[in-house]
């Protein structure tokens, strides 16, 4: 079966092997002729990246390239890219990479002709309304990992270098106008990145499914996204050239991000401040926290876990079956079980210091079970020491 498709949900979306050849035409379709290509130094060294630029050149795109993007980007990354955008009178942004280039590129587009700093548009209250949507530059997203789903998201995660906390920047028009999702661009990913980003996709779908509220569309998308992860993540990890598995994982990542418009939860509210404090890969942090947060939320998600276990056709039913599958999958991907094993410099004192940041994180508001500072600290510590029932 040919895995190729064009969709318009939640934005214009083209998926399939080889579709990066459509990048110049895709830019023109959304009104871009002078793009700033935002990526990172690692992606820029890959052999296909020069081919992407050649395709833009052949399509008469007058482009510039910005790759000075850190793994956990801050305002300084955005300011540098924004200066290049304005200096060259660019008219759009091409986002090429995983979550970090996507986040930086979205913020450059947001600030292209809007006033203030990126933190003026933090996802608090109606801050987003300060931006004139007509002044947000159009974007084309080219994901190179299968995890964040940022290519269809309306937000960006930026480290506030003043307190090292991760802040969510939001505007409805920060969603790229077009996504070109080519699984061939993920073939060269190291196995660890395949594993960690894949667990990120799983965490998005899982937390969206567990989030309270009535949103059957999000629940359905989350369920199918988790099925795709179950059937394809290990395949892509074991054989990085498996294009079918890579395609399904890119779709799962997009589905997770689409579903989490319903909400996320404690996995992310813990991961965000931990990433700001230690620089841990976001997907790895999510992978570590998932089972510990599951156990904390057990009383409020057991009925949903029964449905999930049936849908995924797990050998063991209910909550225990889902938990066993999560733990087995993480182990098969050679990912650590605890924060201690991750060797990121986490200490027990950090649990107390980071708990208030987790409590203030917007993701915590849709966690299915309420948690105060003591409970958040305790889950940090459980993940540090490996305490599961």
Task: In whole angstroms, give the CA distance from residue 316 to residue 9.
Answer: 34
DSSP code per residue over 343-379:
TS---HHHHHHHHHHHHHSGGGGG-SS---HHHHHHH
What letter does residue 105 receive in the DSSP assignment?
H
For tokens 């993540």, the residue is: 233
CATH fold, domain 5-185, is: Rossmann fold (3.40.50)
Helix (H) or strand (E) holding 75: helix 75-87
* Alpha-carbon span 188 to 145, nearest angstrom: 10
Name which residue leads in pLDDT, 238 or 6. 238
pLDDT in tens, 69-128: 998 899 999 999 999 999 999 999 999 998 899 999 999 999 999 999 999 999 889 999
**95, 106 contact by CB (below 8 A):** yes
Sign of CA dihedral 162, 166, 172, 175: positive
Using CB atoms within 10 Å of the CB of residue 41, give its burial: 0 to 12 exposed, 13 to 18 middle, 19+ buried: exposed
Mean pLDDT across 139-156? 94
Round to whole Å and give the CA distance between 100 and 42: 12
User: 301-324: per-residue pLDDT in tens?
Assistant: 999 999 999 999 999 999 999 999
**0.85 exceeded by pTM:** yes
Domain coordinates in residue numbering, the chain: 5-185, 189-385
309: tokens are 């276990």
Q: Count Cβ neighbours within 10 Å for each residue of 293-326 and write b for 16 or more, e otherwise.
A: bbebbbeebeebbeebbeebebeeebbebbbebb
DSSP 8-state assignment for residue 137? P
pLDDT beyond 70 at 33: yes
The separation between the first and the last C-alpha atoms of the chain, rounded to the nearest angstrom, is 43
Question: Quick one: CATH architecture of 189-385?
Answer: Up-down Bundle (1.20)
- Of 180, 92, 184, the C-alpha closest to 142 is 180
pLDDT tens sequence across 202-253: 999 999 999 999 999 999 999 999 999 999 999 999 999 999 999 999 999 9
Question: What string of DSSP letters covers 205-255?
Answer: HHHHHHS-S--HHHHHHHHHHHHHHHHHHHHHHH-TT-HHHHHHHHHHHHH
Cis peptide before 10 (omega within 30 of 0): yes
- pLDDT, the chain, mean: 95
Q: In whole angstroms, how large is the CA radius of gyration of the chain?
A: 20
């Amino acid at each position: 079966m040919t895995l190729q498709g064009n969709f318009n949900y939640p934005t214009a979306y083209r998926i399939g092997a080889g579709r990066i050849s459509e990048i110049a035409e895709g830019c023109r379709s959304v009104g871009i002729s002078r793009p700033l290509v935002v990526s990172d130094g690692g992606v820029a060294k890959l052999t296909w990246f020069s081919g992407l630029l050649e395709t833009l050149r052949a399509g008469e795109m007058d482009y510039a390239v910005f790759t000075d993007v850190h793994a956990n980007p801050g305002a300084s990354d955005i300011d540098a890219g924004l200066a290049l955008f304005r200096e060259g009178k660019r008219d759009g942004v091409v986002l090429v990479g995983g979550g970090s280039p996507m986040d930086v590129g979205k913020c450059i587009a947001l600030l292209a002709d809007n006033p203030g700093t990126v933190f003026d548009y933090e996802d608090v209250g109606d801050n987003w309304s300060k931006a004139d949507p007509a002044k947000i530059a159009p974007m084309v997203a080219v994901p190179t990992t299968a995890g964040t789903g940022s290519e269809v998201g309306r937000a960006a995660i930026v480290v506030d270098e003043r307190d090292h906390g991760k802040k969510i920047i939001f505007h409805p028009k920060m969603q790229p106008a077009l996504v070109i999702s080519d699984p061939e661009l993920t073939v060269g990913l190291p196995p660890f990145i395949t594993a960690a980003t894949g667990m990120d996709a799983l965490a998005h779908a899982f937390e969206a499914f567990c989030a309270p509220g009535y949103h059957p569309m999000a629940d359905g998308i989350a369920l199918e996204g988790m099925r795709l992860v179950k059937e394809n993540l290990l395949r892509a990890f074991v054989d990085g050239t498996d294009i079918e598995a890579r395609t399904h994982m890119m779709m799962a990542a997009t589905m997770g991000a689409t579903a989490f418009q319903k909400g996320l939860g404690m996995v992310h509210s813990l991961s965000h401040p931990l990433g700001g404090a230690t620089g841990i890969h976001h997907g790895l942090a999510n992978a570590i926290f998932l089972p510990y947060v599951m156990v904390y939320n057990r009383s409020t998600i057991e009925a949903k876990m029964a449905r999930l276990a049936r849908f995924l056709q797990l050998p063991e039913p209910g909550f225990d079956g889902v938990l066993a599958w999560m733990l087995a999958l993480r182990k098969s991907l050679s990912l650590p079980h605890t924060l201690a094993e991750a060797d990121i410099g986490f200490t027990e004192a950090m649990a107390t210091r980071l708990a208030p940041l987790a409590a203030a994180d917007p993701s915590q508001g849709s966690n299915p079970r309420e948690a105060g500072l003591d409970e958040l600290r305790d889950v940090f510590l459980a993940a540090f020491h490996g305490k599961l029932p």
